Amino acid sequence: MEIKISEKLKKACPELALGVIQAQVKVGPGSKALWKKIKAEVAATKKGHSLEGLSGLPEIEAVRKTYRALGKEPGRYRGSAEALIRRIIQGKGLYKVNGPVDINNLVSVTTRHPVGTYNLAAIEGPIVFGVGEPGESYKGIGKETINIAGLPVFKDDQGPYGSPTSDSERAMITDGTTRILMVIISFTGEGLEEGIKLASELLKEFSEATIEETTIIT
């Protein structure tokens, strides 16, 4: 899978890097063993963080700084890791969706980086991680239409399909998904080797994954 970061986005965040995992998976409900791990991480996160200190975490701060550089208000358009951790601190926990998505959210909370997991069958051609253009939008997963102008976004030959804030319905993981692309988005450029290792181990243990390829893109 060919993936590159656009010059415009790289200019806004020179440290930006992507940790990419391509894998075959079996999609089903998250197991009790997986949710035992998730609940332990949720408890540790809730105990170890506060809403007041969240924006000062290096990983969260780097996302917010990039969004401001692109003209997006980070208090309105939050990176997914920040949004998930805020839910945990507020006592709302994490959503139960399916195994790969639950793993996606666990990796995001653990690494504090936004993570996106996509159905490879819905992606066509090379991928560019760039910036949304004026007038661009898509239907978010479980949400209304999202204005992605000025947001970091993933685009393929069909157009935009995902961002660190909210992904589109087009490439979401469903019961029929057999191959995925998981992308860990590091706005600090750090922690990707550890993130890829964690995500790969979780996918193999809880989604019967066969890891086809992993890479770091800068």
User: Which whole number is the average pLDDT over 14-27?
Assistant: 98
Q: How confident is the model at residue 143 (pLDDT cuts 50, 70, 90)?
A: confident
Question: CA torsion 23→1→196→155, rounded to 10°?
Answer: -110
Q: What is the pLDDT of residue 144?
A: 81
Provide the domain limits for residue 91.
3-217
Relative orientation angle of helices 58-69 and 80-89, to the nearest 10 degrees: 130
Domain count, the chain: 1
154: three-class secondary structure by DSSP? strand
CATH number, domain of 204, equals: 3.50.40.10
Question: Which is it for strands 127-131 and 115-119: parallel, antiparallel or unpaired?
Answer: unpaired
Smallest Cα–Cα separation from 38: which of 92, 93, 89, 91?
Answer: 93
pLDDT at 1: 80
Helix, strand, coil shares of the chain as percentages rounded to 5?
A: 35, 25, 40
The residue-averaged pLDDT of 191-210 equals: 98
